[in-house]
Amino acid sequence: MDFALNETHTMIRDTARQFAADVLLPTADERDDKETFPAQEVKQLGELGFMGMMVPEEYGGAGLDTVSYAVAMEEISKADASCGVIMSVNNSLVCYGLNKYGTEEQKQKYLIPLAKGEKLGAFALSEPEAGSDASNQHTVAVKEGDHYVLNGIKNWITNGTTADVVLVIAQTDPSKGPKGISAFIVEKGTPGFTYGKKERKLGIRSSDTVSLLFENVKIPATNRIGDEGFGFKFAMMTLEGGRIGIAAQALGIAQASLEASVAYSKQRKAFDQPIANLQAIQFKLADMATDIEAARLLVHQAAALKDAGKPFGKEAAMAKLHASRVAVNAALEAIQIHGGYGYVREYKVERYLRDAKITEIYEGTSEIQRIVISRALLKE
């Protein structure tokens, strides 16, 4: 849908596409196999301005819009979905939250280096008993003078071991339920802040995912984001924008699956002809392309609404729901088109399927997206 992109969007897309092809793609399979964090590649993303794309230039960002971010996320994720989610968390969940709700002091100290890519951020909401039920927070922050004491466990945290700054959601007044939840900035190396074991995952294997452990961690009161009790609302509003990033990640995986399938079908022969001549293959490609284009329209619509300052929660949920489903289906069809070769590591399509599945789970499962969409419809 190039018709909806302006000159800046096209330039960003082309820059991301070139970087992904030249830098990410050649080593993506090796990083996946060895579960190696792409430290150098993430640094280069920062140098290109891709780690704080929507942050104003005065705070170290690129000052771009959400559509620019979505097209860049698609291109990066098409080559390496692990780099895509690292970029998404830093942009959508960390920089966005600090830019919109942080104090000037917090922006100067944390946002600027995060947006420049000099530091990396993580977002800690999920817990062993608080996944989809995000209001059921067991991590507790108790006010003691000019600081808080944080205790609890967070799990499934992307960038967990590599992040310099973590935004932590914790209960400050259990008697108030969701209205007693607050948000805090916690720095790596703070005494009492440690990590659990690195998770061994099906996909996005070069992105580190761990549990975070907090034992009597002292946090300055100045590191609280907003007022006490603002944390749950902060998390939900931040996740709305995050869904656009993950939808764009899913879109990139789907597009990679389609491109691999088109290329393979042209060179693979069966019954004395390229399999691209077979209607069974042609129909699969046609359906994949149509579903991907529809997903792209949804993603760009949600991004454009956000840029226009209009409500976008329902549209972001729709984009993530549809794009994640399309990613899984496209990867499955790519494997089917590749036949036995699609099932082995020599070809990339098996990685696309492994990477695609998580997009239906993190930053709100598909079931949660349906709840968000239906609630919005019933309020209209």
Domain's final residue, options 193, 213, 232: 232
Residue 227 contacts residue 49 (beta carbons within 8 Å): no
In this structure, the answer to whether residues 20 and 74 fall within a common structural domain is yes
The alpha carbon of residue 367 and the mean position of all alpha carbons in its chain are separated, in whole angstroms, by: 18
Give 34-51 pLDDT, tens digit per residue: 999 999 999 999 999 999
Give 52-72 pLDDT, tens digit per residue: 999 999 999 999 999 999 999
d(CA 151, CA 219): 11
- Tell me the three-class secondary structure of 238-253, residue by residue: HHHHHHHHHHHHHHHH
> 363 catalytic, yes or no?
yes
Task: Give the count of beta carbons closer than 10 Å to the beta carbon of residue 289.
Answer: 16
Task: State both tokens at 78.
Answer: 């098409």
pLDDT grade, residue 1 (50/70/90)? low
Task: Count Cα atoms within 13 angstroms, Cβ side, for 240.
Answer: 18
**Residue closest to 32 by CA, chosen among 81, 70, 69:** 81
In this structure, the answer to whether residues 216 and 286 fall within a common structural domain is no
pTM of the predicted protein model: 0.95
pLDDT grade, residue 2 (50/70/90)? low
Residue 22 contacts residue 77 (beta carbons within 8 Å): no
CA angle, 24 as apex, 302 and 30 as ends, to 5°?
A: 125
pLDDT grade, residue 135 (50/70/90)? confident
Q: What is the DSSP letter of 245?
A: H
pLDDT mean across residues, the chain: 96
d(CA 26, CA 287): 29
In this structure, the answer to whether residues 55 and 126 fall within a common structural domain is no
Task: Give the count of beta carbons closer than 10 Å to the beta carbon of residue 272.
Answer: 6
d(CA 160, CA 154): 10
pLDDT score at 133: 79
> Picking from 253-257, 306-310, 346-350, which range would have the lowest pLDDT averaged per residue?
346-350
Exactly one of 74, 259, 363, 367 is catalytic; which is it?
363
In this structure, the answer to whether residues 169 and 106 fall within a common structural domain is no
pLDDT score at 3: 65
| Ramachandran class of 365: left when φ > 0, alpha when ψ lies in -120 to 50, beta otherwise | beta
Q: How far apart are the first and last CA of the chain?
A: 29
Structural domain boundaries enclosing 13? 2-120
In this structure, the answer to whether residues 30 and 71 fall within a common structural domain is yes
In this structure, the answer to whether residues 224 and 348 fall within a common structural domain is no
Q: What is the CATH number for 107? A: 1.10.540.10
In this structure, the answer to whether residues 30 and 89 fall within a common structural domain is yes
Per the structure, the count of domains in the chain is 3
- Residue 241 CB contacts under 8 Å (≥ 6 apart), including other chains: 66, 92, 93, 96, 306, 316
In this structure, the answer to whether residues 360 and 372 fall within a common structural domain is yes
In 3-state terms, what secondary structure has residue 49?
coil
- Residue 370 CB contacts under 8 Å (≥ 6 apart), including other chains: 317, 321
Q: What is the CATH number for 275? A: 1.20.140.10
In this structure, the answer to whether residues 269 and 366 fall within a common structural domain is yes
In this structure, the answer to whether residues 296 and 320 fall within a common structural domain is yes
Task: Give the count of beta carbons closer than 10 Å to the beta carbon of residue 26.
Answer: 10
Domain's final residue, options 120, 138, 157: 120
Assess whether pLDDT exceeds 70 at residue 223: yes
Task: Give the count of beta carbons closer than 10 Å to the beta carbon of residue 106.
Answer: 17
Q: What is the CATH number for 208? A: 2.40.110.10
Give 139-156 pLDDT, tens digit per residue: 999 999 999 999 999 999
**Hey, which residues does 122 pair with through a beta bridge?**
166
Assess whether pLDDT exceeds 80 at residue 355: yes
Assess whether pLDDT exceeds 80 at residue 4: no
In this structure, the answer to whether residues 260 and 149 fall within a common structural domain is no
Give 76-96 pLDDT, tens digit per residue: 999 999 999 999 999 999 999
pLDDT grade, residue 136 (50/70/90)? confident
Longest dimension (CA), the chain: 79
Domain's final residue, options 232, 261, 282: 232
Percent of the chain with pLDDT over 90: 92
Task: State both tokens at 167.
Answer: 């935004």
Assess whether pLDDT exceeds 70 at residue 137: yes
CA distances from 345 to 27, 29, 33, 141 (A): 14, 8, 9, 46
In this structure, the answer to whether residues 249 and 333 fall within a common structural domain is yes
Give 162-174 pLDDT, tens digit per residue: 999 999 999 999 9
